[in-house]
A = this chain, B = another copy of it.
Amino acid sequence: MRILGVDPGLTRCGFGVIDTLPARKAAMVAVDVFRTPSADSVDLRLGSLAEAFDTWLDTHRPDVVAIERVFARNDVSTIMGTAQASGLTMGLAARRGIPVAMHTPSEVKAAITGSGRADKKQVTNMVTRILGLDAPPKPADAADALAIAICHSWRGALSAQSTPGMNKDLTERKGSGRQGSGLTKAQEQWARALRNAK
């Protein structure tokens, strides 16, 4: 399974593609951070992000897109660009019929390091080790997008979709041990959601 992880943002948007391998391993396919100048207007920045993201979808043809979930914080202005970038990437992936999963920052950290409060360096170190890289991925802030993709691969591909009740669903399925087993039910849910959208 090929997963495209997205660390959404207007100033920096991280993209990381992995292929899952047996025994919780994964291989890095590509990683980069797409930047847009803050001096440009927001619409131009989103327009070039749309182009960049569609190019990643065309080039790597992921089976699923995993995006870091934007969180409500005290200051709305700081998350507006992130919300716009995440809305754009979600819409572009979904319109192609690619399943989209959302994971919170602490879910990603917990999946990768075992602690939801791990710092950036710990996450980068674990990502480097899990992917069997000789050195941390570059640019420096690219590891987050890979971490999101790895987190998703471990939490069970399609069952982690951003469908209503997804968390409950994941909790219930936690011990079910996917890999050749549980996908059928999740795929059915997805297909149902897709049909409802039409």
Contacts and interface: CB of A to CB of B under 8 A. Distances in A.
A196 interface: yes
B193 A100 contact: no
Contact of A197 (B47, B80, B86): B47
Interface string A177-198: 0000000000000000110111
B93 A43 contact: yes
Q: Is the interface of A mostly helix, strand, loop or mixed?
A: helix
Given A40-B196, A44-B194, A95-B51, A84 B90 contact: yes
Given A43-B90, A88-B91, 17 more contacts: A40-B193, A40-B196, A41-B161, A42-B90, A43-B91, A43-B102, A43-B161, A44-B193, A46-B87, A46-B94, A47-B96, A50-B94, A72-B76, A72-B80, A84-B91, A85-B87, A87-B87
